[in-house]
Amino acid sequence: MEVKKIRQELNELIKNIVEHSESFPANRPIPSLEVSAVISKVNKMQERLAVLKYLLEIHENQQKIIPSQESTTTQEEELVAPESVVSEITITEQVAEPEAPVIEISEIIQQEEQKEPQEKMGDKMISATEDLKANQEIAQKLSRTPIKSLKEAFSLNDRYLYANELFDKNMEAFNNLIKTIDESSNINEAQEKLITAKNQYNWDEENNFYMEFSILVERRFS
């Protein structure tokens, strides 16, 4: 079921955001790149919540319509029941003819009741999706803005964080890699140097610092 799948995705996103946040001790600052990564996950969670809300509202409206149909059926049966005292020919003539229009009216009422809330929810969904897309496009543009050098891209706090997480607390090794990448003639040469360091220090492909480092290298040569 779509609703169940979305709820599972939301639980995983929430868990991921919490783990991401807890990976940074409270006594040291969080780099701006990490904040951007969390914002991206929050935007995705907001988008899935909007879809979940839309699906649940449709389900609730359908539940309201079903009791209404059952009530209409009961009333029709009560109206037909007294006719049992009349002859079988009369009952057949009176009951057979109204069946078609009664069904048509019921279907029209059902369609009209579903149409209005679905149209309103559809408008809200489109508006929410457009806002999310706009925010994501802005965040993506900012994250891909070219930079003049890697050396200028890292604050002092960032340098300590990356040296601790990727270079076994070796600040000199971190600074040397930044210097050699800045001196590269093109993106391919720069990425080869980054991959060499990755293999040397055995960095995980899913490591947030490594992924953000890769993005910075791309921005350096974009």
In terms of residue numbers, what domain contains 214?
150-220
> Sorting pLDDT into bands at 50, 70 and 90, what band is 17?
confident
Tell me which H or E stretch contains 134: helix 99-143
Let me know whether 63 and 12 are in one domain: yes
- The domain boundary, picked from 92, 114, 143, lies at 143
pLDDT digit string, tens, across residues 79-125: 544 444 334 434 334 444 444 444 444 555 566 556 555 555 566 55
71: which residues sit within 8 A by CB, 6+ positions away? none
Segment of 50-59, 87-96, 177-186 carrying the highest mean pLDDT: 177-186
Indicate if 129 and 31 belong to the same structural domain.
Answer: yes
- Residue 49's alpha-carbon distances to 46, 52, 129, 157, 194, in angstroms, are 5, 5, 11, 35, 38
Indicate if 11 and 113 belong to the same structural domain.
yes
Number of domains in the chain: 2
Give tens-digit pLDDT for 128-148: 666 656 555 554 555 568 999
Question: pTM here?
Answer: 0.41
